[in-house]
Protein backbone atom coordinates (compact mmCIF):
# COMPACT_ATOMS: atom_id res chain seq x y z
CA UNK A 1 0.00 0.00 0.00
CA UNK A 2 1.26 3.48 -0.86
CA UNK A 3 2.60 5.47 2.08
CA UNK A 4 1.70 9.10 2.86
CA UNK A 5 3.42 12.01 4.58
CA UNK A 6 3.52 15.80 4.28
CA UNK A 7 6.62 17.89 4.96
CA UNK A 8 6.36 20.68 7.57
CA UNK A 9 7.06 24.15 6.23
CA UNK A 10 10.24 25.91 7.27
CA UNK A 11 8.37 28.14 9.71
CA UNK A 12 6.44 25.26 11.27
CA UNK A 13 9.66 23.27 11.70
CA UNK A 14 11.19 26.31 13.39
CA UNK A 15 8.30 26.44 15.87
CA UNK A 16 9.19 22.89 16.89
CA UNK A 17 12.87 23.77 17.24
CA UNK A 18 12.04 26.80 19.41
CA UNK A 19 10.29 24.65 21.99
CA UNK A 20 12.14 23.55 25.11
CA UNK A 21 11.43 22.93 28.79
CA UNK A 22 10.48 26.54 29.49
CA UNK A 23 9.25 27.68 26.07
CA UNK A 24 5.99 25.98 25.12
CA UNK A 25 4.99 26.75 21.53
CA UNK A 26 1.25 26.12 21.72
CA UNK A 27 -1.46 28.70 21.12
CA UNK A 28 -4.75 28.42 22.93
CA UNK A 29 -7.90 30.07 24.20
CA UNK A 30 -10.32 30.08 27.08
CA UNK A 31 -13.89 30.17 25.77
CA UNK A 32 -16.80 30.88 28.12
CA UNK A 33 -20.35 29.79 27.22
CA UNK A 34 -23.78 30.52 28.66
CA UNK A 35 -25.94 27.71 30.02
CA UNK A 36 -25.43 24.28 31.49
CA UNK A 37 -22.41 22.38 30.16
CA UNK A 38 -23.18 19.74 27.54
CA UNK A 39 -22.71 16.09 28.50
CA UNK A 40 -19.14 15.02 27.88
CA UNK A 41 -20.25 12.30 25.46
CA UNK A 42 -22.22 14.84 23.41
CA UNK A 43 -19.10 16.97 23.05
CA UNK A 44 -17.07 13.92 22.04
CA UNK A 45 -19.67 13.07 19.42
CA UNK A 46 -19.64 16.63 18.07
CA UNK A 47 -15.84 16.72 17.79
CA UNK A 48 -15.76 13.30 16.14
CA UNK A 49 -18.41 14.32 13.61
CA UNK A 50 -16.36 17.34 12.50
CA UNK A 51 -12.79 16.04 12.58
CA UNK A 52 -12.97 15.46 8.83
CA UNK A 53 -12.90 19.27 8.42
CA UNK A 54 -9.59 19.48 10.27
CA UNK A 55 -7.57 16.44 9.12
CA UNK A 56 -4.40 17.73 10.79
CA UNK A 57 -6.01 16.93 14.17
CA UNK A 58 -5.56 13.20 13.45
CA UNK A 59 -1.94 13.56 12.36
CA UNK A 60 1.27 13.65 14.36
CA UNK A 61 4.84 14.75 13.76
CA UNK A 62 7.40 12.20 12.55
CA UNK A 63 11.05 13.27 12.78
CA UNK A 64 13.56 12.35 10.08
CA UNK A 65 16.44 10.18 11.35
CA UNK A 66 19.62 12.13 12.17
CA UNK A 67 17.68 15.37 11.47
CA UNK A 68 18.42 15.06 7.77
CA UNK A 69 15.26 16.90 6.75
CA UNK A 70 12.38 18.85 8.14
CA UNK A 71 9.89 16.72 10.11
CA UNK A 72 6.77 15.40 8.39
CA UNK A 73 3.12 14.90 9.22
CA UNK A 74 1.80 11.34 9.24
CA UNK A 75 -1.60 9.90 10.18
CA UNK A 76 -1.85 8.76 13.81
CA UNK A 77 -2.51 5.01 13.66
CA UNK A 78 -3.59 4.87 17.34
CA UNK A 79 -5.79 7.97 17.46
CA UNK A 80 -7.69 8.23 20.77
CA UNK A 81 -10.26 11.03 20.86
CA UNK A 82 -10.80 10.78 24.62
CA UNK A 83 -7.10 11.50 25.18
CA UNK A 84 -7.46 14.83 23.37
CA UNK A 85 -10.92 15.88 24.59
CA UNK A 86 -10.81 16.00 28.38
CA UNK A 87 -13.23 16.78 31.19
CA UNK A 88 -12.66 18.69 34.43
CA UNK A 89 -14.41 20.97 36.95
CA UNK A 90 -13.49 24.09 38.90
CA UNK A 91 -13.46 24.28 42.70
CA UNK A 92 -15.99 26.57 44.37
CA UNK A 93 -16.88 29.35 43.93
CA UNK A 94 -16.09 28.79 40.24
CA UNK A 95 -15.45 32.37 39.17
CA UNK A 96 -12.86 34.01 36.92
CA UNK A 97 -9.98 33.58 39.42
CA UNK A 98 -10.45 29.79 39.51
CA UNK A 99 -10.81 29.60 35.71
CA UNK A 100 -7.67 31.69 35.18
CA UNK A 101 -5.65 29.52 37.57
CA UNK A 102 -6.74 26.38 35.73
CA UNK A 103 -5.86 27.95 32.37
CA UNK A 104 -2.43 28.97 33.67
CA UNK A 105 -1.73 25.40 34.80
CA UNK A 106 -2.88 23.89 31.49
CA UNK A 107 -0.89 26.40 29.42
CA UNK A 108 2.18 25.46 31.52
CA UNK A 109 2.16 21.89 30.19
CA UNK A 110 3.83 21.06 26.88
CA UNK A 111 1.94 18.93 24.38
CA UNK A 112 3.06 15.32 23.87
CA UNK A 113 4.97 15.13 20.58
CA UNK A 114 4.21 11.43 20.21
CA UNK A 115 0.53 12.28 19.63
CA UNK A 116 -1.45 14.82 17.59
CA UNK A 117 -0.54 18.20 19.02
CA UNK A 118 -3.80 19.45 20.52
CA UNK A 119 -6.04 19.24 23.58
CA UNK A 120 -9.56 20.44 24.39
CA UNK A 121 -10.81 20.67 27.98
CA UNK A 122 -14.51 20.83 28.93
CA UNK A 123 -14.66 22.83 32.17
CA UNK A 124 -17.67 22.58 34.48
CA UNK A 125 -18.29 24.35 37.78
CA UNK A 126 -18.38 27.96 36.55
CA UNK A 127 -20.74 30.27 38.37
CA UNK A 128 -23.64 32.19 36.80
CA UNK A 129 -24.82 29.19 34.75
CA UNK A 130 -21.70 29.06 32.58
CA UNK A 131 -19.12 26.53 31.40
CA UNK A 132 -15.81 26.76 29.62
CA UNK A 133 -13.67 25.19 26.92
CA UNK A 134 -9.89 25.51 27.12
CA UNK A 135 -8.04 24.68 23.92
CA UNK A 136 -4.35 24.08 23.19
CA UNK A 137 -2.90 23.62 19.71
CA UNK A 138 0.77 23.60 18.77
CA UNK A 139 1.86 26.63 16.76
CA UNK A 140 3.29 24.38 14.04
CA UNK A 141 -0.26 23.22 13.21
CA UNK A 142 -2.01 26.48 12.79
CA UNK A 143 -1.74 30.28 12.73
CA UNK A 144 -4.00 32.90 14.22
CA UNK A 145 -6.09 33.93 11.22
CA UNK A 146 -6.70 30.36 10.09
CA UNK A 147 -7.26 29.44 13.73
CA UNK A 148 -10.48 31.43 13.85
CA UNK A 149 -11.81 29.30 10.98
CA UNK A 150 -10.66 25.97 12.42
CA UNK A 151 -11.85 26.65 15.95
CA UNK A 152 -15.32 27.48 14.73
CA UNK A 153 -15.84 24.12 13.03
CA UNK A 154 -17.27 23.09 16.40
CA UNK A 155 -19.60 26.10 16.51
CA UNK A 156 -22.64 27.24 14.60
CA UNK A 157 -24.06 30.64 13.71
CA UNK A 158 -27.49 29.49 14.93
CA UNK A 159 -28.43 27.95 18.32
CA UNK A 160 -29.14 24.47 17.02
CA UNK A 161 -29.12 21.51 19.41
CA UNK A 162 -29.60 18.86 16.72
CA UNK A 163 -27.61 15.66 17.09
CA UNK A 164 -24.59 15.78 14.74
CA UNK A 165 -24.64 13.27 11.89
CA UNK A 166 -22.47 10.16 12.18
CA UNK A 167 -18.85 10.90 11.34
CA UNK A 168 -17.47 9.74 7.99
CA UNK A 169 -15.36 6.62 8.13
CA UNK A 170 -11.67 7.32 8.58
CA UNK A 171 -8.67 5.05 8.23
CA UNK A 172 -5.07 6.14 8.80
CA UNK A 173 -2.80 6.01 5.78
CA UNK A 174 0.42 4.02 6.24
CA UNK A 175 3.51 6.08 7.03
CA UNK A 176 6.92 5.53 5.43
CA UNK A 177 9.56 3.61 7.35
CA UNK A 178 12.30 5.74 8.97
CA UNK A 179 14.86 4.47 6.43
CA UNK A 180 12.58 5.45 3.53
CA UNK A 181 11.95 8.88 5.03
CA UNK A 182 15.69 9.42 5.47
CA UNK A 183 16.42 8.52 1.83
CA UNK A 184 13.64 10.77 0.51
CA UNK A 185 14.77 13.70 2.68
CA UNK A 186 18.42 13.50 1.62
CA UNK A 187 17.37 13.34 -2.02
CA UNK A 188 15.15 16.43 -1.60
CA UNK A 189 18.01 18.42 -0.08
CA UNK A 190 20.14 17.73 -3.14
CA UNK A 191 17.59 18.05 -5.92
CA UNK A 192 15.30 20.91 -4.79
CA UNK A 193 17.85 23.78 -5.06
CA UNK A 194 19.08 22.45 -8.40
CA UNK A 195 15.53 22.22 -9.72
CA UNK A 196 14.74 25.77 -8.57
CA UNK A 197 17.73 27.22 -10.45
CA UNK A 198 16.92 25.19 -13.56
CA UNK A 199 13.33 26.39 -13.61
CA UNK A 200 14.38 29.98 -12.93
CA UNK A 201 16.19 30.04 -16.28
CA UNK A 202 12.79 29.94 -17.96
CA UNK A 203 10.74 33.14 -18.00
CA UNK A 204 7.36 33.62 -16.30
CA UNK A 205 7.42 30.79 -13.84
CA UNK A 206 7.02 30.45 -10.09
CA UNK A 207 10.70 29.67 -9.47
CA UNK A 208 11.85 32.93 -11.04
CA UNK A 209 9.17 34.84 -9.15
CA UNK A 210 10.31 33.27 -5.87
CA UNK A 211 13.93 34.23 -6.51
CA UNK A 212 12.90 37.82 -7.23
CA UNK A 213 10.89 37.93 -3.99
CA UNK A 214 13.82 36.57 -2.00
CA UNK A 215 16.20 39.12 -3.54
CA UNK A 216 13.73 41.93 -2.85
CA UNK A 217 13.31 40.76 0.72
CA UNK A 218 16.90 41.48 1.70
CA UNK A 219 16.55 45.28 1.65
CA UNK A 220 13.83 45.59 4.32
CA UNK A 221 15.51 42.88 6.39
CA UNK A 222 18.79 44.83 6.36
CA UNK A 223 16.87 47.77 7.78
CA UNK A 224 15.46 45.48 10.46
CA UNK A 225 18.92 44.26 11.41
CA UNK A 226 20.03 47.88 11.69
CA UNK A 227 17.50 48.48 14.47
CA UNK A 228 19.66 46.50 16.86
CA UNK A 229 18.47 44.83 20.03
CA UNK A 230 15.31 45.92 21.81
CA UNK A 231 15.74 48.23 24.83
CA UNK A 232 16.45 46.54 28.17
CA UNK A 233 13.29 45.92 30.17
CA UNK A 234 12.02 43.96 33.14
CA UNK A 235 9.82 42.17 30.60
CA UNK A 236 12.89 40.38 29.26
CA UNK A 237 14.49 37.89 31.59
CA UNK A 238 14.83 34.11 31.88
CA UNK A 239 11.47 32.40 32.37
CA UNK A 240 10.39 29.12 33.91
CA UNK A 241 7.92 26.52 32.60
CA UNK A 242 4.94 27.76 34.65
CA UNK A 243 2.40 30.39 33.60
CA UNK A 244 -0.20 32.87 34.83
CA UNK A 245 -3.22 33.78 32.73
CA UNK A 246 -5.43 36.86 33.03
CA UNK A 247 -8.64 37.66 31.12
CA UNK A 248 -10.30 40.99 30.37
CA UNK A 249 -12.64 42.61 27.85
CA UNK A 250 -12.68 46.04 26.20
CA UNK A 251 -15.77 47.43 24.40
CA UNK A 252 -15.21 47.61 20.64
CA UNK A 253 -17.57 50.62 20.12
CA UNK A 254 -15.38 52.73 22.45
CA UNK A 255 -12.24 51.76 20.52
CA UNK A 256 -13.99 52.69 17.27
CA UNK A 257 -15.02 56.04 18.75
CA UNK A 258 -11.39 56.76 19.64
CA UNK A 259 -10.30 55.82 16.12
CA UNK A 260 -12.82 58.18 14.54
CA UNK A 261 -11.88 61.09 16.80
CA UNK A 262 -8.10 60.67 16.98
CA UNK A 263 -7.41 59.00 13.61
CA UNK A 264 -5.69 55.72 12.85
CA UNK A 265 -6.75 52.12 12.50
CA UNK A 266 -8.32 50.05 15.23
CA UNK A 267 -5.03 48.22 15.50
CA UNK A 268 -3.22 51.55 16.07
CA UNK A 269 -5.63 52.39 18.90
CA UNK A 270 -5.18 48.98 20.50
CA UNK A 271 -1.39 49.31 20.37
CA UNK A 272 -1.71 52.77 21.94
CA UNK A 273 -3.85 51.32 24.74
CA UNK A 274 -1.23 48.65 25.38
CA UNK A 275 1.58 51.24 25.34
CA UNK A 276 -0.27 53.36 27.89
CA UNK A 277 -0.96 50.34 30.07
CA UNK A 278 2.67 49.19 30.01
CA UNK A 279 3.78 52.72 30.90
CA UNK A 280 1.54 52.72 33.99
CA UNK A 281 2.27 49.10 34.95
CA UNK A 282 6.05 49.25 34.61
CA UNK A 283 6.11 52.65 36.30
CA UNK A 284 4.30 51.19 39.32
CA UNK A 285 7.03 48.53 39.47
CA UNK A 286 9.70 51.19 39.71
CA UNK A 287 10.88 50.92 36.07
CA UNK A 288 11.02 54.50 34.71
CA UNK A 289 9.55 54.74 31.17
CA UNK A 290 12.66 56.39 29.73
CA UNK A 291 12.72 54.56 26.38
CA UNK A 292 10.16 53.12 24.00
CA UNK A 293 9.70 49.37 23.89
CA UNK A 294 9.52 47.24 20.75
CA UNK A 295 6.60 44.89 20.06
CA UNK A 296 6.62 41.90 17.74
CA UNK A 297 3.29 42.02 15.89
CA UNK A 298 2.63 38.88 13.82
CA UNK A 299 0.79 39.49 10.55
CA UNK A 300 -0.99 37.04 8.31
CA UNK A 301 0.14 36.73 4.70
CA UNK A 302 -2.66 34.27 3.96
CA UNK A 303 -4.94 35.38 1.14
CA UNK A 304 -8.71 34.94 1.15
CA UNK A 305 -8.38 31.85 -1.07
CA UNK A 306 -5.98 30.30 1.47
CA UNK A 307 -8.35 30.37 4.44
CA UNK A 308 -9.02 26.95 5.97
CA UNK A 309 -5.72 25.67 4.58
CA UNK A 310 -3.02 24.33 6.83
CA UNK A 311 0.44 25.48 7.75
CA UNK A 312 1.54 28.86 9.04
CA UNK A 313 1.46 31.66 6.47
CA UNK A 314 2.57 34.45 8.76
CA UNK A 315 5.33 36.96 9.07
CA UNK A 316 5.99 39.68 11.62
CA UNK A 317 6.65 43.38 11.95
CA UNK A 318 8.36 45.24 14.77
CA UNK A 319 6.40 48.19 16.13
CA UNK A 320 7.68 50.76 18.64
CA UNK A 321 5.62 51.24 21.80
CA UNK A 322 6.34 54.83 22.96
CA UNK A 323 5.84 54.26 26.68
CA UNK A 324 8.22 57.17 27.27
CA UNK A 325 5.55 59.54 25.89
CA UNK A 326 3.29 60.97 28.62
CA UNK A 327 0.62 62.38 26.26
CA UNK A 328 -1.84 59.59 25.21
CA UNK A 329 -2.80 61.35 21.95
CA UNK A 330 0.85 61.79 21.04
CA UNK A 331 1.47 58.09 21.81
CA UNK A 332 -1.27 57.17 19.35
CA UNK A 333 0.15 59.54 16.72
CA UNK A 334 3.63 58.02 17.03
CA UNK A 335 2.26 54.51 16.69
CA UNK A 336 0.12 55.50 13.71
CA UNK A 337 3.10 57.00 11.90
CA UNK A 338 5.34 54.06 12.78
CA UNK A 339 2.85 51.48 11.49
CA UNK A 340 2.38 53.48 8.30
CA UNK A 341 6.14 53.49 7.75
CA UNK A 342 6.38 49.77 8.48
CA UNK A 343 3.75 48.95 5.89
CA UNK A 344 5.47 51.12 3.28
CA UNK A 345 8.86 49.56 4.04
CA UNK A 346 7.70 46.05 3.07
CA UNK A 347 9.24 44.62 6.24
CA UNK A 348 6.70 41.80 6.56
CA UNK A 349 6.83 40.91 2.86
CA UNK A 350 10.61 40.76 2.98
CA UNK A 351 10.58 38.46 5.98
CA UNK A 352 8.10 36.15 4.27
CA UNK A 353 10.22 35.92 1.12
CA UNK A 354 13.40 35.20 3.05
CA UNK A 355 11.60 32.46 4.99
CA UNK A 356 11.40 30.59 1.69
CA UNK A 357 15.17 30.20 1.81
CA UNK A 358 14.68 27.74 4.64
CA UNK A 359 13.15 25.27 2.21
CA UNK A 360 16.62 24.81 0.74
CA UNK A 361 18.69 25.04 3.92
CA UNK A 362 20.05 22.01 5.79
CA UNK A 363 17.89 21.19 8.84
CA UNK A 364 20.83 21.89 11.14
CA UNK A 365 20.58 25.56 10.15
CA UNK A 366 17.02 25.63 11.45
CA UNK A 367 18.22 24.36 14.81
CA UNK A 368 20.93 27.03 14.89
CA UNK A 369 18.38 29.71 14.02
CA UNK A 370 16.19 28.57 16.91
CA UNK A 371 19.14 28.75 19.32
CA UNK A 372 20.04 32.21 18.03
CA UNK A 373 16.49 33.42 18.68
CA UNK A 374 16.73 32.15 22.24
CA UNK A 375 19.73 34.37 23.05
CA UNK A 376 18.97 37.39 20.82
CA UNK A 377 16.33 39.90 21.90
CA UNK A 378 14.93 41.90 18.98
CA UNK A 379 11.64 42.62 20.76
CA UNK A 380 10.27 43.13 24.28
CA UNK A 381 6.75 41.75 23.96
CA UNK A 382 4.52 39.88 21.49
CA UNK A 383 1.12 41.40 20.67
CA UNK A 384 -1.41 39.59 18.48
CA UNK A 385 -4.72 41.05 17.35
CA UNK A 386 -7.08 38.73 15.48
CA UNK A 387 -10.39 39.95 13.99
CA UNK A 388 -13.16 37.54 14.92
CA UNK A 389 -16.86 37.29 14.01
CA UNK A 390 -19.12 40.17 15.02
CA UNK A 391 -22.11 37.87 15.52
CA UNK A 392 -22.76 35.25 18.22
CA UNK A 393 -21.56 31.66 17.89
CA UNK A 394 -23.05 28.58 19.52
CA UNK A 395 -21.76 25.22 20.71
CA UNK A 396 -24.45 22.53 20.92
CA UNK A 397 -27.02 25.32 21.28
CA UNK A 398 -25.07 27.19 23.99
CA UNK A 399 -24.03 30.77 23.22
CA UNK A 400 -20.36 31.74 23.25
CA UNK A 401 -20.04 34.66 25.67
CA UNK A 402 -16.31 35.37 25.32
CA UNK A 403 -13.09 33.87 23.96
CA UNK A 404 -9.76 34.90 25.50
CA UNK A 405 -6.80 33.90 23.30
CA UNK A 406 -3.33 32.84 24.42
CA UNK A 407 -0.02 33.46 22.64
CA UNK A 408 3.11 31.53 23.71
CA UNK A 409 6.08 33.11 25.48
CA UNK A 410 9.38 33.08 23.65
CA UNK A 411 12.72 32.72 25.40
CA UNK A 412 13.53 35.74 27.57
CA UNK A 413 9.94 37.01 27.17
CA UNK A 414 7.89 37.12 30.38
CA UNK A 415 4.67 38.55 28.87
CA UNK A 416 2.47 37.88 25.84
CA UNK A 417 -0.67 39.81 24.90
CA UNK A 418 -3.35 38.28 22.64
CA UNK A 419 -6.56 39.98 21.49
CA UNK A 420 -9.62 38.67 19.65
CA UNK A 421 -12.54 40.87 18.57
CA UNK A 422 -15.85 39.07 18.99
CA UNK A 423 -19.46 40.27 18.95
CA UNK A 424 -18.91 43.92 19.86
CA UNK A 425 -15.94 43.63 22.20
CA UNK A 426 -12.26 42.78 22.32
CA UNK A 427 -11.44 39.72 24.43
CA UNK A 428 -7.89 39.82 25.78
CA UNK A 429 -5.70 37.07 27.19
CA UNK A 430 -2.54 38.00 29.10
CA UNK A 431 -0.02 35.17 29.52
CA UNK A 432 2.97 35.65 31.79
CA UNK A 433 5.65 33.73 33.60
CA UNK A 434 4.48 32.52 37.01
CA UNK A 435 6.82 34.98 38.74
CA UNK A 436 4.87 37.93 37.27
CA UNK A 437 2.62 38.18 40.31
CA UNK A 438 1.15 41.60 39.46
CA UNK A 439 -0.43 40.49 36.16
CA UNK A 440 -3.95 41.55 37.30
CA UNK A 441 -2.59 45.11 37.67
CA UNK A 442 -1.74 45.12 33.95
CA UNK A 443 -5.36 44.25 33.12
CA UNK A 444 -6.45 47.21 35.24
CA UNK A 445 -3.89 49.45 33.54
CA UNK A 446 -5.34 48.52 30.13
CA UNK A 447 -8.79 49.63 31.25
CA UNK A 448 -7.27 52.86 32.55
CA UNK A 449 -5.44 53.46 29.25
CA UNK A 450 -8.69 52.99 27.33
CA UNK A 451 -10.47 55.47 29.62
CA UNK A 452 -7.63 57.97 29.14
CA UNK A 453 -7.88 57.83 25.34
CA UNK A 454 -11.68 57.90 25.47
CA UNK A 455 -11.52 61.11 27.52
CA UNK A 456 -9.24 62.66 24.89
CA UNK A 457 -11.59 61.52 22.10
CA UNK A 458 -14.61 63.02 23.89
CA UNK A 459 -12.94 66.42 23.93
CA UNK A 460 -12.56 66.74 20.15
CA UNK A 461 -14.89 66.32 17.14
CA UNK A 462 -14.74 63.08 15.08
CA UNK A 463 -12.16 63.06 12.30
CA UNK A 464 -12.93 61.81 8.81
CA UNK A 465 -11.13 58.49 8.49
CA UNK A 466 -11.41 55.54 6.19
CA UNK A 467 -12.55 52.16 7.37
CA UNK A 468 -10.28 49.19 7.60
CA UNK A 469 -10.71 45.46 7.22
CA UNK A 470 -13.05 43.34 9.34
CA UNK A 471 -12.30 43.83 12.99
CA UNK A 472 -10.40 47.01 12.20
CA UNK A 473 -7.18 45.27 11.19
CA UNK A 474 -4.57 46.75 8.92
CA UNK A 475 -4.05 45.74 5.31
CA UNK A 476 -1.89 42.91 6.61
CA UNK A 477 -4.01 41.50 9.41
CA UNK A 478 -2.31 40.93 12.77
CA UNK A 479 -2.41 37.28 13.71
CA UNK A 480 -1.19 34.70 16.24
Could you list the active site residues?
A: 139
CA distances (Å), origin 309, targets 143, 148, 222, 313, 397:
10, 12, 31, 10, 27
Peptide linkage before 264 cis (omega within 30 of 0): no
Q: Tell me how far apart the alpha carbons of residues 107 and 100 are, in angstroms, rounded to a whole number.
A: 10
Closest CA to 31 of 126, 110, 116: 126
Within 10 angstroms of residue 309's Cβ, the number of other Cβ atoms is: 11
HEC profile for the chain?
CCCCCEECCHHHHHHHHHCCCCCCCEEEEEEEEECCCCCHHHHHHHHHHHHHHCHHHHEEEECCHHHCCCCEEEECCCCCHHHHEEEEECCCCCCHHHHHHHHHHHHCCCCCCCCCCEEEEEEEEECCCEEEEEEEEECCCCCHHHHHHHHHHHCECCCCCCCCCCCCCCCCCCCCCHHHHHHHHHHHHHHHHHHHHHHHCCCCCHHHHHHHHHHHHHHHHHHHHHCCCCCCCCCCCCCCCCEEEEEEEEEHHHHHHHHHHHCCCHHHHHHHHHHHHHHHHHHHCCCCCCCCEEEEEEEECCCHHHCCCCCCCEEEEEEEECCCCCCHHHHHHHHHHHHHHHHHHCHHHHHHHHHHHHHHCCHHHHHHHHHHHHHCCCCCEEEEEEECCCCCCEECCEEEEEEEEECCCCCCCCEEEEEEEECCEEEEEEEEECCCCCHHHHHHHHHHHHHHHHHHHHCCCCCCCCCCCHHHCCCCCECC
**Edge-to-edge strand order for the sheet containing 425-433?**
243-251, 425-433, 415-422, 381-387, 293-300, 314-321
**CB neighbours of residue 85 within 10 Å:** 19
- CA 384 vs CA 27, 285, 346, 424: distances in Å: 11, 24, 19, 18
Amino acid sequence: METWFERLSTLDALFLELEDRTTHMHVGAVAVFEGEPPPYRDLLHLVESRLSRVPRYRQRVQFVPFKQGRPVWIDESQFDLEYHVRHTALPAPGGEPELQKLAGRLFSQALDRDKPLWELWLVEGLDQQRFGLISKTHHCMIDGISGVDLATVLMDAEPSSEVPPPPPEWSPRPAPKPSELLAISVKEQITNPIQLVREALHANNDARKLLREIAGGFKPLLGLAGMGLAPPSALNRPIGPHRRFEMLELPLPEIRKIRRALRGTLNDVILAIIAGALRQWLGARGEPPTAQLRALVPVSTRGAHDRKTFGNQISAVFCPLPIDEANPVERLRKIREAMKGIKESGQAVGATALASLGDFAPPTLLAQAARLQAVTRFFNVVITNVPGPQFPLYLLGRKLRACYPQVPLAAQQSLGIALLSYHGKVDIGLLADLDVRDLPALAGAMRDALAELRSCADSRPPAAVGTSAAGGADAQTPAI
